[in-house]
Structure formats: structure tokens, C-alpha cells
Amino acid sequence: MAGLTGNTLLVSSSIQYVINVVMTVPALIWIDRVGRRPTLLLGSTLMMTWLFANAGILAVYGVHRPEGVGGIKEASIEVSGAASKAVIACSFLFVASYAPTWGPVSWIYPPELFPNHLRGKAVALATSSNWAFNFALGYFVPPAFVNITWRTYILFGVFCILMTTHVFFMFPETAGKPLEEVNAMFEDPHGIKYIGTPAWKTRTYTNRTARMEDNGGLKEKATSDEFSPERRESVKSAEA
């Protein structure tokens, strides 16, 4: 669609993969400090921006090619000049926004939510669902570009809006919290029924002082944790 062919297309794809790898590094360094919620919210907002930008560029400057560009039916819109460069830039920026946010957090977050007796099955279900949807997208996206062309970007931009809304209202912060605190959030008697502490009221423990202030001292917290159901379950499993 952006008019890339031959070696130029190969170089462009290679740059995309390099961006993906390089932009994952910031997540490894700062993800525990920033937290899960801000990372996910920022990522989905940025991805939405680049998707809508691509849709607008293709809708305004694109030329519809029913036979496809270069014989590829899925590339049913062709752009050239500055518009072509803008589409490529937005695609690179999309990858750069995904790599440090939803890319790594989608693997980190599920294991932090569930107690020990559910974690294995829950994470397995989350992982299999992830790959199942990837498989479905592989079948859906090419026909979508043939039938609804640039509107495919609009569709995924709307998905990003839904992702942002879902994370804000339903995804509590888990960074820096042990299992007991995560369970306490979901079982909060003063929270929302069946949900617990409202997700937007949770926050990241970024340093030792904050944890001491909220928990009345690390030593007292550690002592109480020794007698929690989660710790007892872990000890029994280890002894067995």
C-alpha cells in the first residue's frame, strides 16, 4: 500500500523488527517502576493514535486498486509521495508503542493476578487465548483489507479505545505487590461487589518508604504474611 517493493520492502520490514526488539528494552528497565496500568493505558492510547492516523491518510490520499497493488489483492489501496512516508512512519510508531507496553505486559500481568492454586491453569488459559486470537487475526486481516480497505485501521483503532477503557476500569495495579495484597484488592469489603477495590484507585509501590507508610512497617507485614493462606499453601507444596 505504501508503494514499497523488492529490497525496499525487505529493508522496511527489517527496520520494523529492529524497532520491536530495541523498544522492548525500556520495558525491562522501567516497567516495575512505572507500573502495569500506566504502561497499558499509554500503549493503547498511542496505538490508537497511529491506527487512526493511518486510516485518515489512506482515506484521503489513497487510490483504490480493486486488482491490488503488484498483484496483491490485500494491498487494495495505493499511496505515494509524502503520504506513503507518513503511512510507513505511523506503522513504525505503532510498533514502537506496542513493544514497551502491551507486548511485555501481556505476559507479565496474568501470573500476578491469580493465587497459587489457580495460577498454572489461569496463565495457560491466558497464553492459549493470546495465540488463538493471533491465529484468528491472521485469517481476518487479509480479507478485511480486501473488503473494507482503510476502514480496517478504524476497526482496530476502536479496539484500542475499548482496551483503554477496559484497563482503566477493570485492571488493578499489581506492580510491587505480593499475592496477599492482590487477593485483598479483589476481596475488599469496601470495594465494588464482585470486583473489589476500584482499579483506578490502586497504585504502584515504587519504593520502600511508600510500602512502609501503607503497611505500617515492612517487618509487621512480613510477619503477618507468614501466616497467610497463600504462604501456608506454598509451604505445604514445598514440603510435599
User: Cα separation of 88 and 19, whole Å?
Assistant: 13
**Cβ proximity of 133 and 163 under 8 Å:** no
The closest alpha carbon to 92, from 154, 27, 19, belongs to: 19
Q: What does the pLDDT read at residue 199?
A: 92
pLDDT digits (tens, 9 = 90+) for 115-169: 888 999 999 999 999 999 999 999 999 999 988 999 999 999 999 999 999 999 9
Mean pLDDT of 175-183: 88
Which three cell numbers, joined as nine digits, stand for 77? 489501496
Dihedral sign computed on CA atoms, order 82, 68, 156, 6: negative
Domains of the chain: 6-170 (1.20.1250.20), 179-239 (no CATH)
**Better pLDDT: 71 or 32:** 32
Q: What is the DSSP letter of 77?
A: E
Give this prediction's pTM.
0.80
Number of residues that this document lists for the chain: 240
Mean pLDDT of 208-218: 52
Mean pLDDT of 56-64: 91
Other Cβ atoms closer than 10 A to 208: 9
